[in-house]
Structures are given as structure tokens and as C-alpha cells.
Amino acid sequence: MKRLAFGIAALIVFHALPAHAIDCRKASTSIERRICADKALRQADAAMGAAYARILKASQDPEIRAMLIESQKHWLARRDLRLDQEDGAENADDSDAEAPRNNLLAAIEARTADLTDVSKTDPKLPRLIEIANKQRRFNAQFTGGPFAGYRADCDFLPSGNEQIYTCLGTRSYQNKDRVCSVTTDFATNALYTTQTVADVVDGKLKTIATCGDENGNSPCPGGEPSADRRWTLQPAATVNASGTSTPPSKISADLGEDEDSPWLRACLTDKSYPLADPASDGSKK
């Protein structure tokens, strides 16, 4: 959504400041107090704050800056929710006493690494900004529309004894009245990816075919024909609502680069796909 320049400036002032390093004189939450009481955590938080300030200065694009601000706000919120284990740390066995602190330190350092990562082709270009620019270029190949965009769902997920910040969610691409989506989610300690083909009918989405999730669909077609790998066709599928009240983001570096896969290009450019051949992955034979 486009905003006036002064609106973006106000947004940055209002939202960016809390995402910088913690002012330990004003530490109010238990996790802030934990960070302030530990030298290594305090230094890591300061480094993350400095990295965040640098990446904001690296782009004058209002949409990208708003994306970066929202991403950092969300990371901080999930950190406070998932890694605030002060009470558990106090009651833990001696062997586990350092685990919450070490997990928090690792999470802050990993976030700093994401904020400081740079393009392989342009060391002056932050990687997160590069991803956003590539997403724009990829989507510019198609008409776009109200259903196109990204819905990131980022959280700390369990990985052994650690909590790893992971961004899943849905990428939706629109070309005229065809919408093709890829959704990745986490359930029962596993990742699932669903591909969906839909048409826009009277301003709403009508599902045409799906594949690949854990809800009874067949695995998505691969490079070689297989009776087990095919689209689940749903010609009489229920017409879906036109979407949630919040429109998808037009860019989301948290979800990474778009994958220019054969099925996606076929889905967006060939109205007969995948109905004509449910076993096809979109590759031209």
C-alpha cells in the first residue's frame, strides 16, 4: 500500500526506535532485564541494533524500509514470546541452566547475521534488500492483482534443543484471472508445502487444483511421470472468500527469493494447466 512520504517518515520514527538496542536504564520486561544483566547478551543486542540501523539507512525506498521495520518488530515480538524463559531457567537443572541464555544469544547473533548479510554480486547491497528487489522483478513479469503477494508466518521453531527462527507462509502470484500459490507450513514436527491453482471468478478465488500437502492430496508432479505424483483436481471446489481483511504484502524478504519453477510459469501462462495433464510438472517435453 502506497503512503505519503511524511507518513512513512512518521512510521519510521514511531516504529524503528524500539527495534534498536535496548536502553538498559528503561528495561521493563523480563527478557530485557536478562539481556541487560549479561555482558555477552548486552553486546549482542547492541550489535543487532547497529546492524538494523545500518540496513535502514541502506535504502530510501519507503516500501522496503516499511518491510524491514515490520520484519524487525515481528522478530522482537516472537523473541519476547518464545525465548523469555526466565522462570524456567531459575528452576532448571544445573546441566540445563545455561540453555535458555545460550539459545537467546544464538538467536540474537543469527538475526544480526541476517541483517548484515550482503549480496554475492554487490557487497554494498544488503541481502534482504536484494531479495525484495528480486521479488519485484519476478512479479513484474505478470499482471499482478489483489490476490498477489506474500503472507509470511515467522516464528521460533524447535530444532533439537534449540529454537530456530523460521519464516514460512504463502506466496501468491496473479496473472490476469489466474492465481497460483505456494504455501509452506509446520505441523507435527515436519514442513509441508502445498501448491494451489485458482481462478478469479466474480472477484473471488475458485480452487482448480492442489497438490503436495498433508491433507490427502497427492505429492506434486516431478520431472518424471508418476501415477503417485499428480495434481488433485477440484473442478467443483468451493468458491473461496476474496481474502482476509489484510491484503498480502507486495514484498517480503523474510520468505526469500521466488522460485521460477516450471509448474508456476505454466500455471500463470497456460489456462489449461494442470487440467489437461494432472501428472505434468509444467515442463515442456
Could you tell me if 115 and 52 are in contact, meaning their C-beta atoms sit under 8 angstroms apart? yes
Q: Which candidate, 102, 108, 112, places its Cα nearest to that of 79?
A: 108
pLDDT < 50 positions in the chain: 1-18, 86-94, 241-243
Q: How far is CA 7 from the centre of its chain?
A: 25
Read off the C-alpha cell for 58. 541502506
Cα separation, 87 vs 201, whole angstroms? 53
Distance, in Å, from the CA atom of 102 to the CA atom of 160, rounded to the nearest integer, reads 14
Phi-psi region of 234 (alpha: psi -120 to 50; beta: other; left: phi over 0): beta
Q: What is the pTM of this model?
A: 0.86
Name the 3-class secondary structure at 57: helix
Residue type, 59: S
Under DSSP, is residue 67 helix (H, G, I), strand (E, B) or coil?
helix
Q: pLDDT of 236-251, one tens digit each? A: 555 554 445 578 999 9
Alpha-carbon span 112 to 109, nearest angstrom: 5
Residue with cell 467443483: 236
